[in-house]
Amino acid sequence: MMRQIILIGFWCLLFISNACKKESGPEERIMEEFYRIKEYVQQKKIGKIMDYISSDYKDIYGNSKDSIKAILIQNILFRNSINVVIRDLDLKIDGGRAEVALKLFLSESSGIIPENADFILLKCKMIDAGDKWVIISAQWEGHQSPF
């Protein structure tokens, strides 16, 4: 009898917790994706980062998706260790399009003390590609390249 009560209670809790789950809105999805990209940068997973760059990517600097990949390889793979801090993420969403502005603090170190640090103001235009939001254009200030 006690076992049945515990099982019924467990199933009720499971049902209630699933019923209370809120579907992530576009703001939450975009924020989660930028924090995921941050982790991929720190892990030097270029392919995973590129999954968030649209095949139609173009920016004011004349870069395409392939150019961005080359910039990432040059600026990520050959560094000892990269730490990324995201601040002031600002979103404007209009249907399936979004404009995102954020501040990035990037530091490189071979030990505990950072040897190099950069501040970048990054502005991105994104579109909803169904399973994720992808970057179709970006503009950055504060450094020669985005990373």
Instruction: Read off the pLDDT of residues 78-95 as tens digits, 9 standing for 90 and up.
Output: 887 888 999 999 999 999
Question: Is residue 33 assigned to a domain?
Answer: yes
Question: Is residue 6 assigned to a domain?
Answer: no
Element (H, E) at 85: strand 82-94
Question: Is residue 20 assigned to a domain?
Answer: no
Q: State how far the alpha carbon of 111 is from the alpha carbons of 46, 81, 108, 114, 146, in Å.
A: 23, 8, 9, 7, 23
Question: Is residue 9 assigned to a domain?
Answer: no
Encode pLDDT of 89-131 as tens digits.
Answer: 999 999 999 999 999 998 887 677 767 788 889 999 999 999 9
Task: Give dist(CA 137, CA 38) in Å, integer.
Answer: 18
Locate tokens 């990054």: which residue?
Answer: 122
pLDDT at position 107 is 87
Q: What are phi and psi of 18, to 5 degrees?
A: -70, -35
Does the structure show a pLDDT above 50 at 21?
no
The token pair that represents 62 in the structure block: 């004349």
Q: For the domain that residue 72 is a member of, what is the CATH number?
A: 3.10.450.50
Structural domain harbouring 134: 26-141
Whole-model pTM: value is: 0.77
Q: Amino acid letter at 115?
A: E
Q: Report which DSSP code applies to 77.
A: I
Residue closest to 133 by CA, chosen among 76, 93, 106: 93
Task: Give dist(CA 131, CA 69) in Å, integer.
Answer: 21
Question: Is residue 15 assigned to a domain?
Answer: no
Domain count along the chain: 1
Question: Is residue 108 assigned to a domain?
Answer: yes
Q: What are phi and psi of 45, to 5 degrees?
A: -95, 80
Question: Is residue 17 assigned to a domain?
Answer: no
pLDDT at position 75 is 83
Question: Is residue 41 assigned to a domain?
Answer: yes
